Structure 1
Amino acid sequence: MPIFEKRTRIAAPPERVFAFHEQPDALERLTPPWERMRVLERTGGLQVGARAIVETRVGPVPLRWVAEHTRYEPGRLFQDTQRSGPFRRWVHTHRMDPDGAGGCYLTDHVAYELPFGAIGRLGGARFVRRKLERMFDYRHEVTRRACEAPAE
């Protein structure tokens, strides 16, 4: 199964980065402007059992993506797992690890499997990889800027 991982040092403690992700509008803030996605429903925060239902698009086709939070360690990590959506399998772990200098490393680890077996891998692997790289570059930059900004 393919793995995608993005790691960025943020000059803010892990608790602050985690708190950013717990904000009610975090998902919208972390969605790149070029992605056509809207939140249809949200229950709970990041705790185990919380769910988000979003509508996204693959080309012109609208798809409903249901994600459920399956791990939660306050100030440290949370994980969401696709229950239905565009992937055959998707498990996304968000980690905030102290760097020993007052900041942290934000790591997004995604284990995923494309639909349609070998045909999906041949036709979509490179496209999906580029899309993930671009999306997580954006997300990490938004997170870094928000968390490194002086507290208001």
Structure 2
Amino acid sequence: MPVIRMEFLIHAPQQICFDAARSIDLHMESTAKTRERAIGGVTSGLIQLGESVTWEAVHFGIKQNLTAKITEMEEPRYFVDEMVAGAFKRFSHVHEFIPLGASQTRMLDTFDYTSPFGMLGRLVDWIVLEKYMTHFLRTRNEYIKGVAEAQVNKSNGLF
């Protein structure tokens, strides 16, 4: 049961970071390499507590569907999405946003998952999946950081 934890310092207010992380449209932009797209549930805009989204994507050369539901949310502090259906046995993904003054936010990302197939799944985690997921989440979070900071710079007339 790997747990992937990441921390990012974002030069943007907490609310902007919170909204960027739950934007369906931004998620699709940030995962273009895996051709991820929302095909069910909430398919654009900001996902809310109790709502779900079904993603279609290509991972490891295989087209897959995964449905996640927002099971906890305290705006703009954190939200949790959990897998309802998909390739994992289970996952819980916690997104936290800690304000550091008015213009900076510490974003904490914790992805706790269990692969299917028991011992074989743990072997796949060890060989490739944990590294793959770490890279996938880091790329997505760096995209969120860039978009949030660009939005602040744009509103400050720097573009």
Q: TM-score range by the shorter chain?
A: 0.7 to 0.9
User: What residue in structure 1 maps to residue 134 of structure 2?
Assistant: 133
Asked if the contact 2:54–2:65 (Cα under 8 Å) also holds between the matched residues in 1, the reply is yes
Asked if the contact 1:20–1:26 (Cα under 8 Å) also holds between the matched residues in 2, the reply is yes
User: What residue in structure 2 maps to residue 13 of structure 1?
Assistant: 13
Shifted more, 122-131 versus 83-92: the winner is 122-131
CA RMSD of aligned residues (A): 1.9
- Percent identical pairs in the alignment equals 26
Q: SS at 1:65's partner residue? A: strand
Gaps of 5+ in 1: none
Shifted more, 36-45 versus 102-111: the winner is 36-45
Deviations 1:38-79 (A, max 9, x none): 221233843221110111234343221111110111111111
Shift of 1:141: 1.7
| TM-score, normalised relative to structure 1 | 0.88
User: Judging changes above 3 Å, is the alpha-carbon distance between structure 1 residues 126 and 14 closer, same or farther for their aligned structure 2 residues?
Assistant: farther
Asked if the contact 2:27–2:140 (Cα under 8 Å) also holds between the matched residues in 1, the reply is no
Asked if the contact 2:9–2:107 (Cα under 8 Å) also holds between the matched residues in 1, the reply is yes
Shifted more, 100-109 versus 86-95: the winner is 100-109
Deviations 1:92-143 (A, max 9, x none): 0111111247311111111100110011111333311111221122112211
Asked if the contact 1:77–1:96 (Cα under 8 Å) also holds between the matched residues in 2, the reply is yes
CA distance in 2, matches of 1:39, 1:105: 27
Gaps of 5+ in 2: none
CA distance in 2, matches of 1:101, 1:24: 25
User: What residue in structure 2 maps to residue 122 of structure 1?
Assistant: 123
1:25-36 superposed matches below 5 A? 25-31=25-31, 33-36=32-35
User: What residue in structure 1 maps to residue 53 of structure 2?
Assistant: 52
User: Judging changes above 3 Å, is the alpha-carbon distance between structure 1 residues 45 and 147 closer, same or farther for their aligned structure 2 residues?
Assistant: closer
